[in-house]
Amino acid sequence: MRARMLDLLSAAQHGGYAVGAFNVYNLEGVQAVIAAAEAESSPVILQIHPKALLHGGAPLIVLCQTAADEARVPAAVHLDHSASAEAIERALHLGITSVMADGAGLSYADNVIFSRAMVALAHKHGASVEAELGQISGTEDDLVVAENDARLTDPAQAVEFVNETGLDALAVCIGNVHGQYRGEPQLDLARLAEIRRRVSVPLVLHGASGLKEQHIREAIRLGVCKFNVNTELRQAYLTAARSALTGAKPADLSDLIAAVVAAVKTVVLDKLRLFASGGKA
């Protein structure tokens, strides 16, 4: 059944677990995420990156919404990392109930102005807004931020940011990275604890691919209730596709589709267990 992301996050925040938000690009990705969530009786978020939206357009949003409607678990559909007011407006018109207004590349003042405007727009549509304070480095599709440009979330500024924008969920930067971590991930958990102490909105951690079990557990304990995962899903998809195409048997399209769905589902299942959201549907 289709759910609103904010409702899923509020339940997670009070229940001591986190909801996985998985980036999807096509039907196979959507099927894998929903199948894993159903197998675990877990709530889940189907998340669309602007690059995926550029390629998939309105049909991709409708696909996610239909899959969410038909799912046997609560499933929300979310627009990820959107720095474009037009893309957000378009997604809202198509019925998306949750968007990430990404003003992280702007100055603090401009991030406030952009995020506040997107909150006003989204709330008019009855939708919620996730916004980011600080900036996470790494690569996700066309979104590339150099390590030098990473900025951690300032806990005192987070209070101001939440109050000035009226956002519904805060994406924090505590050493998390999009894409591959170089070496062991170093999360600033003391900073996370301080942010949680000061703000009460649901906290979001991007770049969950590559985080170890102890990072995830600690982050949940310290208030994270949404994890974003993309890289590990894409890797599983591509590895399965490659081996289906280079196997001894001539590649068959239905076999290739089944192989990629199974591979992505395995990763999602693993993450849902780490996020402790199984049985919370």
Kind and range of the H or E run holding 62: helix 50-70
Determine which residue in the list 231, 263, 268, 280 makes contact with ligand 13P, applying CB under 6 A.
231
Does residue 16 come out as left (phi exceeding 0), alpha (psi in the -120 to 50 range) or beta?
left
* Rounded-to-integer distance, Cα 47 and Cα 35, Å: 15
Q: Does 226 bind ligand 13P (CB under 6 A)?
A: no
Nearer to ligand 13P, 42 or 231 (CB): 231
Region of residue 261 (phi > 0: left; psi between -120 and 50: alpha; otherwise: beta): alpha
CB of 215 to ligand 13P, least distance (A): 13
Q: Which of positions 27-66 make contact with ligand 13P (CB under 6 A)?
A: none
Q: Which of residues 61-100 bind ligand 13P (CB under 6 A)?
A: 80-81
The site map against ligand 13P for 139-158 (x = CB under 6 A) is -x------------------
Judged by CB under 6 A, the number of residues near ligand 13P is: 14
Cβ burial of 153 (10 Å; 0-12, 13-18, 19+) is buried
Q: Is 191 in the site for ligand 13P (CB under 6 A)?
A: no
The residue among 178 and 215 lying less far from ligand 13P, judged by its C-beta, is 178
Q: x/- string (CB under 6 A) for ligand 13P, residues 161-180?
A: -----------------xx-
Task: Confirm or reject binding of residue 132 to ligand 13P (CB under 6 A).
Answer: no
Q: Quick one: which H or E segment has residue 271?
A: helix 253-274
- In the set 7, 80, 142, 255, the catalytic residue is 80
Which of 225, 244, 256, 208 lies closest to 26, judged by CA? 256
Rounded Cα gap, residues 268 and 252, in angstroms: 25
Q: Is 255 a catalytic residue?
A: no
Q: Could you count the other beta carbons within 10 Å of the beta carbon of residue 140?
A: 24
Stretch that binds ligand 13P, among 60-68, 122-130, 223-231, 255-263 (CB under 6 A): 223-231
Q: How far is the CB of 160 from ligand 13P (least distance, A)?
A: 24
Residue 134 in tokens: 């600080």
Could you say whether residue 134 binds ligand 13P (CB under 6 A)?
no
Contacts of 250 (CB under 8 A, 6+ apart): none
Query: Least CB distance from residue 25 to ligand 13P, whole Å?
Result: 12
Q: How far is CA 22 from the centre of its chain?
A: 6
**Interface with ligand 13P by CB under 6 A: which residues?**
23, 80-81, 140, 178-179, 206-209, 228-231
Residues marked active site are found at 80
